[in-house]
Structure 1
Amino acid sequence: MAGPTAGGGGPAQFPKEYAARQAMNQEATIYFAAAVAGLIGIVTVFHLVRVAARNASLASAPTVVASPFFYASRLLRNVLLRKVPGLPSAGHACLAVTYVALNIVLTFTHLLDNPVMSLKSNVASRSGWLSLANMCLAIFLGMKNTPLGYLTTWSYERLNSLHQIVGYTTMSLVIVHAAAYTDYFGASGNLARLRVIDETYGIVAGFTMLTLVVVAFTLRRRYYELFYVVHVSFFVLTIVFTGLHQPDIPKRIFVITATGAGIWVFDRIIRIVRVCWYSVGNTATVYPLPHGGTRIVLRKPPAGARSGEHCFLWMPSVRLLEMHPFTMAAMDPLEFVVASYDGFTSDLHKFARASPGATVRASVEGSYGSFPDPAAYDKVVLIAGGSGASFIVGMALNLLQRVRPGYRQSVEFVWMVKDYDHFDWFAGHLSTIRHTLNASISLFVTRSPQPDMTITLGQVDLHNAATPYTPDSAPGSPVDLEEKYPLPLERPRSALVRHISDPEKSGADSDFSSPVSHLSASPAIPYLQPAQAAGRSHVHGIPITYGRPDVSEIVRKAVDGTPVNQRVLVMCCGPDGLTTEVRNTTARSISRKGPTVELHCEQFGW
């Protein structure tokens, strides 16, 4: 983007050559934008055609003309849905490889071929233009209110891995841009050019962007709150100094920078307006749960929200300047169930324990998240690991509200936890799901019960228990409130899980970090009464099995047992090992002659 002057030639000495190079750089930027739009168009069309075919029930009996499309679609999904290292799926990997290759090709091709302009200066200029275009793309993919959420099944959290790849690519182009120009100026004896104020602004912008990348590698997973503050602050600095680096509007470089800034500001304005709107007359009531859990009941939910989606929660009494995303486990009233890990969630649980049943000022922003309509499928398989049940329970309750009268639908619900007291977080909802949906519910405890951990639902340690959540202190609900909001059973212990319900934090339950295996419980344990085994035997009549299930077998049996003219939806939320196993097994189960299979993995691990 910069250009040499004294000592190396510049626009004043070679105006035609520089004008020609700028025109070619603009063309390359347009090619890049067109190629990215084409990739988005391909994904969008593929998604919309599949949705239209599913709604028309064409997949169960495809015509001669449509058969090649359906068979090709299933073959592709069998491959593209599978997990690959570092990315959610092979489909993400294909997009990433195509995108990186596009940048490499455009950086080193279609360059000005003129003896006056050196290759190094041409590459430096081109990489500068492309870095700006990529920065705009990174901002677009990072939008919370992204239009891609309406065009495809990918809302912002599912685009985050691509957002990161674009960010790293942008940083790489900036490094090429800076290194090539520095070498060029040095070879032409014009290093003084780097002390020009416009170039100084560019150097500062490069280092602020480098800080974003370094912080993403080092702080994002361990200290998310600190990462977020640094990320936003240094992003703003990067935009400002990039604009100052090339402030000339006629060059059109400034226009690209202003476009990226405009996208970001527009998204922020939408979010701020929502927070202000939903803060009017809104309150949250908090209740402590066993094992570091916290239940939050909000008075005023966001318009059009559905259980299973998530929104950003603001509770100034806990932390004034922070908002965090949590899954909406239930609606009417809006309910969050939050696992305590660190930072905000830890402070939230401490507040709930200190003031159980307290009602405080709150607001929400959202809702976000996109997923298939579970009511559109003949069989639904819901699999949760740890606190991933927030999403899976939300989907079951979502289905409960959307299922058509008289329509018999097969629902399988599988939930794995490390300690059985976690079942108390959703005990009432499990009972509702079982009886209202006639669902098959399987509950698994992956840790063997300890003799001193025996406790049954309704027993309360009066010395340690907090004020109970009773019908007198809670808003009404279609479910019996004593079941929906069970009494706290014991003093919450140290956090055992990362916060899967928080999409902007890494989620990893160590007990599920590797693919689950065949049931490993002792045959003498699973169905014993609490007096015979040191653990509960059921939750509201739903048996508890001690051991790890064979998740792959559960998915295979669900798909194989479905007629070819029906549709199966597999949904999973939990740690990496669990979602990888579910993802790969479901992908392998998509066959040319089998039922229609859809997969949705809700995993927030960045």
Structure 2
Amino acid sequence: MVVWLSKPLGVWHTYRDRGELDPSLTEWEIAMVQQKWLDWYRADWDYGQTTVAFFCAGIGVATVMYMTVVLRDRFRQRALASENEAILGEDYRRAPSVLDRLTAACRYASSRQFRVERLGWYSPPLSAVLAVAGMTIFVLGLILAVRPYYWQNHMMGHSTPIATRSGWIAMGIMPFMIAFATKINFVAMIAGTSHERLQVFHRWSALLMYIAALVHTLPFVYTDVRDGVWKERYNTKLYYWSGFLALAPQTYLVLLSWGPCRNRYYEIFKKMHFLAAAVFMIALFIHTDWILTSWDYFWGTAAAWGLARLLQTLRTLYHSRGLGLSATLETLPDGFLRVRIHKLPPKFNITPGQHVFVRFLGAGLHAFTSHPFTVARPVGGEEGDGERAADIVLRVRGGTTRALAKRAEGKVGVRMKVMMDGPYGGVPVALRTYDRVLLLAGGSGATFTLPILMDLAERMKRGKTRCRRVDFVLAVQHEDSYAWMEDQLATARALAPPGTLNMALHITQQSVEKLLPAQLEHVPTECDSQEKHASPASSADALILCARPDLPHIIRDAARSTRGTLAVAACGPNAFLLEARNAVADCELTIMDGFGQCREIFLQTENFW
């Protein structure tokens, strides 16, 4: 008969009474088994709680840094609202202060990125790399720091010290590993970031938990094989077979969550990921079998995941009016699709740059998954019935977008139902409080920068912004690639005061001869050279260039010529963001040295949805 649990669920904690020790143990051995960091009966306190404290401390540091940014941003917003010239006027001409330099140092770490070109691998920002390195050093140090790793006398305990401690370290990691993965993310809320930026910590904490699980498992196998009792214990002991039952899906989760397999087969990966995670959690729950405070970590994990999932489900049902919102699907030039979601609920408020998760109920099997898309344009009162709507523009690639493209092919205004969850992300500071804003977009990354451009243009018209200049740089493959946004660009040009808005359009795979006659009027003579790059023009009209944008030159030129503060917002492919990130990081070093007119540079980058 298979015994799944040795105690009922109502028993949450095991006893801590070690009972009588074996009389064959020496005084030295007795002292060792009762010593802090080696005592089996307090290992959950020594290692599990220490791991929890480490992660809480890291989140606390991130929260303090975020609150500093928030307070500084709100101070500037209040100064802008009160038109305090002492703050917003000539004061910006002074050299960077100590706080400016410290801010630049932190933003250098959050901007700097690395690439292994041969492998096509892009690192997270340097700040995330340092945080992951700190996690790794802590976990490995806590596992390996205390000796001995094995008992000299098997009567001192069946669980070796290194196996005991690594098991509790793995349990301590578990609630945070799950918390990092949720969309409604409580860690992200208090640390001032978005859920997708915590995915790197989800993956690395999962890997560290897996390493700790292996270190927990292998000593048991080694000692039992050595003593000739491995087969007997595997067949008769609950902790043995349940441990391997948990380790199998954990191995699958870790190995297939990295690299090309996840990216290439994402639709299948996502479904199997949830299934394997469920098997893993059930098996691990059985394996821990109420030992000491082990189940407390499950209650914490269940609270973090369950509450986030419940709130996400309720919000999705509310925003989607239960059965789904009506949407219209239409094709756009150069492989783009536009989805207009009609009749948004009154309390659905979205700020420029935020994204939503959309589930297309008319997309066949793809209706079982949701995908993130940036809201390119909120629409209000333009549909005749006064209902609010939102436009989502997406490029056709594969999976869901390909299925949508096939359904819309050759048709006009295909209707379907969608479920919508969000909004998420966005810009954490008010860009209107910066003296200059530089918007950089690669391809469909314009869905992130366009709403920001429109918001700034409207505020500049009303005089509700500190910003005196906005540069909009767009890189597309063909002239048809930006046809869907021409109306918005024209509107932004009409709203912005003369001389405040500068646009540069870079067509990367297009010859001059194929440009429209109206566009040729704005093409400079250097457009004939595919290697010539230029900065945004000083005129209010758009400058069209047949070359890739030289992002480092554009960003450094903006930093050198800005007196005061500069904000950079970028969205595009990985290589596009790499150039933008590292150029901003170089400019942060200049501020740290105390040189230049620019006192502060803020960078916001978004994933290429």
* TM-score normalised by L of structure 2: 0.78
Displacement of 1:13 after TM fit?
7.5
SS at structure 1 position matched to 2:262: coil
Indicate yes or no: 2:391 matched with 1:330: no
* In 2, Cα distance between equivalents of 1:61 and 1:190: 77
Indicate yes or no: 2:288 matched with 1:251: no
Displacement of 1:74 after TM fit?
2.1
Which AA in structure 2 matches 1:312? F
May I ask how many residue pairs the two structures share in their alignment? 518
Q: Is the 8 A contact 2:440 2:473 kept in 1?
A: yes
Counterparts of 1:124-523 in structure 2 under 5 Å? 124-191=163-230, 192-195=232-235, 196-217=237-258, 218-248=260-290, 251-280=292-321, 282-301=325-344, 303-318=348-363, 319-332=366-379, 333-371=389-427, 372-400=429-457, 405-406=462-463, 407=465, 409-437=468-496, 438-449=500-511, 521-523=527-529
* In 2, Cα distance between equivalents of 1:242 and 1:604: 36
Instruction: Give percent identity, aligned residues only.
Output: 23
Q: Is the 8 A contact 2:250 2:280 kept in 1?
A: yes
Displacement of 1:215 after TM fit?
1.9
Counterparts of 1:59-74 in structure 2 under 5 Å? 67-74=97-104
Displacement of 1:456 after TM fit?
7.9
More divergent stretch after superposition (356-365 vs 253-262):
253-262
Is the alpha carbon distance of 1:20 and 1:37 closer, same or farther for their aligned partners in structure 2, counting shifts above 3 Å? same
Indicate yes or no: 2:134 matched with 1:102: no
* Deviations 1:351-394, CA, capped at 9 Å, x for gaps: 22254202221120011104232222121100011111111112
* In 2, Cα distance between equivalents of 1:393 and 1:424: 13
SS at structure 1 position matched to 2:339: strand
* In 2, Cα distance between equivalents of 1:13 and 1:24: 19
Which AA in structure 2 matches 1:73? T
Q: Is the 8 A contact 2:188 2:194 kept in 1?
A: yes
* In 2, Cα distance between equivalents of 1:421 and 1:456: 14
SS at structure 1 position matched to 2:548: coil
Any gaps of 5 or more consecutive residues in structure 1? 1-9, 459-518, 527-539
Is the alpha carbon distance of 1:439 and 1:67 closer, same or farther for their aligned partners in structure 2, counting shifts above 3 Å? closer
More divergent stretch after superposition (567-576 vs 69-78):
69-78
Is the alpha carbon distance of 1:428 and 1:155 closer, same or farther for their aligned partners in structure 2, counting shifts above 3 Å? same
Question: Which residue matches 1:511?
Answer: none
* Deviations 1:268-301, CA, capped at 9 Å, x for gaps: 2222212222222621111101122110111144
SS at structure 2 position matched to 1:329: strand
* In 1, Cα distance between equivalents of 2:285 and 2:110: 39
* Deviations 1:425-476, CA, capped at 9 Å, x for gaps: 211111122221352111011113397x676899xxxxxxxxxxxxxxxxxx
Q: Is the 8 A contact 1:219 1:226 kept in 2?
A: no
Q: Is the 8 A contact 1:416 1:446 kept in 2?
A: yes
Q: Is the 8 A contact 1:24 1:112 kept in 2?
A: no
Displacement of 1:242 after TM fit?
0.6
SS at structure 1 position matched to 2:256: helix
Which AA in structure 2 matches 1:162? F
Is the alpha carbon distance of 1:240 and 1:147 closer, same or farther for their aligned partners in structure 2, counting shifts above 3 Å? same
Is the alpha carbon distance of 1:104 and 1:523 closer, same or farther for their aligned partners in structure 2, counting shifts above 3 Å? closer
Is the alpha carbon distance of 1:583 and 1:299 closer, same or farther for their aligned partners in structure 2, counting shifts above 3 Å? same
Displacement of 1:143 after TM fit?
1.4
* TM-score normalised by L of structure 1: 0.78
Q: Is the 8 A contact 2:355 2:426 kept in 1?
A: no
Q: Is the 8 A contact 2:512 2:546 kept in 1?
A: no
Question: Which residue matches 2:67?
Answer: 48
Q: Is the 8 A contact 1:278 1:300 kept in 2?
A: no
Q: Is the 8 A contact 1:149 1:370 kept in 2?
A: no
SS at structure 2 position matched to 1:159: helix
Question: Which residue matches 2:27?
Answer: none
**Selected match of 2:56 from 37, 54, 58:** 37
Is the alpha carbon distance of 1:279 and 1:73 closer, same or farther for their aligned partners in structure 2, counting shifts above 3 Å? closer
Displacement of 1:148 after TM fit?
3.2
The CA RMSD over aligned residues, in Å, is 3.2
Which AA in structure 1 matches 2:369? E
Displacement of 1:20 after TM fit?
3.0
Which AA in structure 2 matches 1:246? T
Question: Which residue matches 1:552?
Answer: 552
Q: Is the 8 A contact 1:559 1:595 kept in 2?
A: no
Any gaps of 5 or more consecutive residues in structure 2? 1-16, 23-29, 77-86, 116-121, 380-388, 520-524, 533-539
Indicate yes or no: 2:601 matched with 1:597: yes
* In 1, Cα distance between equivalents of 2:469 and 2:453: 12
User: By percentage of residues, which structure has more helix?
Assistant: 2
* Deviations 1:196-218, CA, capped at 9 Å, x for gaps: 23321221111101111222135
